[in-house]
């Protein structure tokens, strides 16, 4: 079927009054969540996911995607008005956004951030629409061997490109995979890792429990520690004149926006990368290609435009492998994937064939979410200024309550709530000790698929381990995985020879907590 026909059918779904309301609701909630320091898209989606049972599955996913989208816009608000990034994805926006606000240009910075996000988001959604079908068609050729190799590739990108301590990344991936094996053995059906026959573990550990624990409770503890006092909020009033001047100024930076959009989209597709490194890379590139690189850091508008186009484009980019291949491109999309599986919508190429209404409804909802986000963002700025003055303690208390009841609601087991508290404390400590949390959540979500495809391949091939490299696609993925794995090790050996007798595996820190 023609692409435009599919998309227009999708619009018929996403523009239904109910779904339109869902998009507006999601984007508004996302904007607030993104704007609150300490809360990013991943925290928002983790906390709100269990509360979405109130709407049908397709609308629930549209709602969550809209929150994800809205949070990307919202992150810039506190970066500019507070000087504290609302989410790690908006770190680069503070570099020039905050100086602009201090110079009395908060309104211009906010307009620039909103419109740059809109441009980044729109270009990325168009790219998404164009790439979705070819990628899904390619994925149709996947058997269990390719599935395993692709998941392996996703994990090795964390080792090769993640930017965190390699050993700690490997530990987190293994921990996530081990936790994913709790419950019943996929093949034999025997109970496994049920820790002394605890009945709560028979159904396994839900990704939601880990996500709420780590990104809800853990994040609150982290926020309490890092935010001793409430920072000063810059005032921002936007008039129609500001809006006109803002749009006129921004439209002269087409090169910066195009670079940010394309870079963001492709970096966002990589599981280990995501919106934070994409926005930092776009900022760096904008500085290099700028006519006035020396003004970056002092309130150059390009320093706001570049990261904001990139982080929005990256958030859309990370949805592409999730929807077409079933491999999430970021922790937030890992949660969306988990949510879809929970509602019986298995992401992957078959979804395009079995549920075209849902897939295209979701894709078209990204277009509407983009338009809604830019309008709501500009319109509600006075409300954000007011909300940012809310004391942290009120926000933290409410988030903790949402974690408790949200964790209980899906399965109605106190066992899950206890686990959330446990994971929350563990997540906080692990984060303090520089253990990356994104691979942990991704491993828990992808663990069952990885084990199933590995064992299915070996059973069908009578134990022939070479089966993974006998199929061309699978062999390519395995080769790339090896490359990602070996590359940092070579770097390690070189640097250890030069500097220190011990391992020196810390590379530039692109923390992706909230990408």
Partner 1 sequence: MINADRIIASLIIISSLYFMWHAIALPIGWNGIEGGPGGGAFPFWLSVIMLICSAIVFWRSSSGTKFQKFSFDTSMIKPILLVSVSLLCTVGLISVIGAYIAIFLFLFWYLRVIGRHSIGLSLTIPVLTPILMFFFFEVTLRIMLPKGVSEPLFLPLYAKFF
| Interface residue list for partner 1 (CB under 8 A) | 51, 53-54, 167-168, 170-171, 174-175, 177-178, 181, 185, 187-188, 190, 192-195, 217, 220-221, 224-226, 228, 391, 393-394, 396-398, 400-401, 404-405, 408-409, 412, 414, 417-418, 421, 424-425, 429-430, 432-435, 451, 454-455, 457-459, 461-464, 500, 502-504, 506
| Nearer residue to partner 1 within complex by CB, 247 or 390 | 390
Instruction: Give the Cα separation of 308 and 257 in Å (integer).
Output: 9
Q: In the numeric block, which tokens belong to residue 239? A: 């008039």
CB of 355 to partner 1, least distance (A): 24
Residue 462's φ and ψ, nearest 5 degrees, are: 50, 45
Instruction: Give the Cα separation of 97 and 311 in Å (integer).
Output: 15
| Nearer residue to partner 1 within complex by CB, 8 or 393 | 393
Instruction: Give the Cα separation of 280 and 462 in Å (integer).
Output: 47
CB of 92 to partner 1, least distance (A): 23
Residues 6+ apart with CB under 8 A from 19: 13, 59, 62, 361, 365
Residues 6+ apart with CB under 8 A from 186: 448, 451, 452, 455
CB of 503 to partner 1, least distance (A): 6
| Nearer residue to partner 1 within complex by CB, 341 or 421 | 421
Instruction: Give the Cα separation of 3 and 17 in Å (integer).
Output: 24
Task: Give SS3 for 141.
Answer: coil
CA 448 to chain centre: 20
CB of 184 to partner 1, least distance (A): 9
CB of 376 to partner 1, least distance (A): 23
CB of 222 to partner 1, least distance (A): 9
| Nearer residue to partner 1 within complex by CB, 39 or 282 | 39
CB of 248 to partner 1, least distance (A): 44
Q: Residue for token digits 């070479």?
A: 466
| Nearer residue to partner 1 within complex by CB, 167 or 247 | 167
3-state percent breakdown (helix, strand, coil) of the chain, nearest 5: 75, 0, 25
| Nearer residue to partner 1 within complex by CB, 166 or 272 | 166
C-alpha torsion angle, residues 367, 369, 373, 374 (rounded to 10): 10
C-alpha to C-alpha distances, 48 to 30, 32, 35, 328, 423, nearest whole angstrom: 10, 13, 16, 19, 18
CB of 271 to partner 1, least distance (A): 18
Instruction: Give the Cα separation of 61 and 406 in Å (integer).
Output: 17
DSSP 332: H
Residue 152's φ and ψ, nearest 5 degrees, are: -60, -40
CB of 362 to partner 1, least distance (A): 23
| Nearer residue to partner 1 within complex by CB, 252 or 412 | 412
Residues 6+ apart with CB under 8 A from 187: 455, 459
| Nearer residue to partner 1 within complex by CB, 21 or 405 | 405
- Asked if residue 381 lies in contact with residue 110, where contact means CB atoms within 8 angstroms, the answer is yes
CB of 466 to partner 1, least distance (A): 12
Crossing angle for the helix pair 106-140 and 3-14, to the nearest 10 degrees: 120
C-alpha to C-alpha distances, 487 to 16, 148, 506, nearest whole angstrom: 49, 21, 14
Q: Residue for token digits 């590379």?
A: 507
CB of 210 to partner 1, least distance (A): 15
Q: In the numeric block, which tokens belong to residue 483? A: 């490359």
| Nearer residue to partner 1 within complex by CB, 292 or 432 | 432
CB of 450 to partner 1, least distance (A): 9
CB of 444 to partner 1, least distance (A): 12
Instruction: Give the Cα separation of 377 and 113 in Å (integer).
Output: 10
Residues 6+ apart with CB under 8 A from 349: 136, 137, 139, 140, 142, 324, 325
| Nearer residue to partner 1 within complex by CB, 294 or 499 | 499
C-alpha torsion angle, residues 89, 328, 506, 227 (rounded to 10): 40
Instruction: Give the Cα separation of 343 and 324 in Å (integer).
Output: 17
| Nearer residue to partner 1 within complex by CB, 404 or 489 | 404
| Nearer residue to partner 1 within complex by CB, 318 or 513 | 513
| Nearer residue to partner 1 within complex by CB, 248 or 500 | 500
Q: What is the DSSP string of 375-393?
A: HHHHHTHHHHHHHTTS-HH
């Amino acid at each position: 079927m023609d692409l435009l026909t599919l998309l227009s059918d999708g619009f018929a779904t996403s523009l239904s009054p109910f779904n339109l309301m869902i998009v507006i609701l999601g984007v508004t909630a996302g904007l607030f969540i993104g704007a609150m320091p300490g809360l990013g898209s991943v925290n928002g989606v983790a906390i709100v996911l269990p509360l979405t049972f109130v709407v049908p599955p397709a609308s629930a996913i549209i709602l969550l995607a809209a929150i994800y989208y809205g949070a990307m816009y919202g992150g810039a608000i506190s970066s500019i008005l507070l000087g504290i990034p609302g989410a790690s994805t908006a770190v680069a926006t503070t570099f020039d956004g905050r100086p602009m606000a201090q110079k009395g240009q908060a309104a211009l910075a906010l307009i620039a951030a909103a419109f740059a996000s809109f441009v980044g988001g729109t270009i990325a959604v168009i790219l998404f629409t164009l790439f979705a079908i070819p990628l899904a068609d390619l994925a149709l050729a996947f058997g269990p061997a390719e599935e395993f190799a692709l998941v392996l590739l996703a994990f090795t990108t964390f080792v090769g490109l993640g930017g965190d301590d390699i050993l700690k990344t490997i530990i987190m991936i293994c921990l996530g995979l081990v936790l994913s094996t709790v419950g019943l053995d996929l093949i034999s059906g025997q109970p496994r890792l049920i820790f002394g026959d605890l009945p709560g573990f028979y159904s396994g550990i839900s990704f939601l429990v880990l996500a709420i624990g780590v990104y809800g409770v853990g994040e609150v503890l982290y926020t309490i520690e890092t935010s001793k006092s409430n920072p000063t909020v810059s005032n921002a009033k936007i008039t129609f004149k500001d809006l006109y001047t803002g749009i006129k100024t921004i439209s002269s930076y087409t090169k910066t926006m195009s670079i940010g959009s394309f870079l963001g989209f492709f970096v966002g597709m990589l599981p280990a990368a995501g919106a934070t490194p994409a926005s930092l890379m776009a900022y760096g590139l904008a500085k290099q290609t700028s006519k006035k690189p020396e003004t970056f850091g002092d309130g150059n508008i390009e320093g706001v435009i570049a990261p904001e186009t990139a982080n929005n484009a990256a958030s859309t980019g990370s949805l592409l492998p999730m929807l077409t291949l079933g491999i999430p491109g970021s922790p937030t999309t890992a949660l969306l994937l988990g949510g879809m599986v929970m509602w019986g919508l298995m992401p992957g190429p078959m979804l395009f064939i079995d549920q075209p209404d849902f897939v295209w409804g979701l894709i078209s909802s990204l277009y509407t979410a983009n338009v809604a986000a830019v309008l709501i963002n500009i319109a509600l700025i006075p409300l954000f200024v007011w909300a940012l003055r809310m004391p942290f303690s009120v926000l933290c208390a409410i988030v903790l309550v949402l974690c408790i009841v949200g964790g209980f609601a899906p399965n109605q087991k106190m066992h899950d709530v206890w686990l959330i508290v446990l994971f929350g404390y563990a997540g906080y400590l692990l984060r303090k000790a520089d253990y990356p949390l994104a691979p942990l959540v991704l491993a828990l979500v992808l663990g069952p698929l990885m084990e199933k495809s590995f064992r299915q391949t070996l059973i069908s091939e009578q134990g022939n381990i070479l089966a993974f490299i006998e199929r061309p696609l699978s062999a390519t993925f395995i080769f790339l995985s090896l490359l990602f794995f070996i590359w940092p090790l070579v770097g390690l050996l070189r640097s250890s020879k030069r500097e220190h007798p011990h391992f020196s595996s810390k590379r530039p820190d692109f923390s992706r907590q909230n990408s």
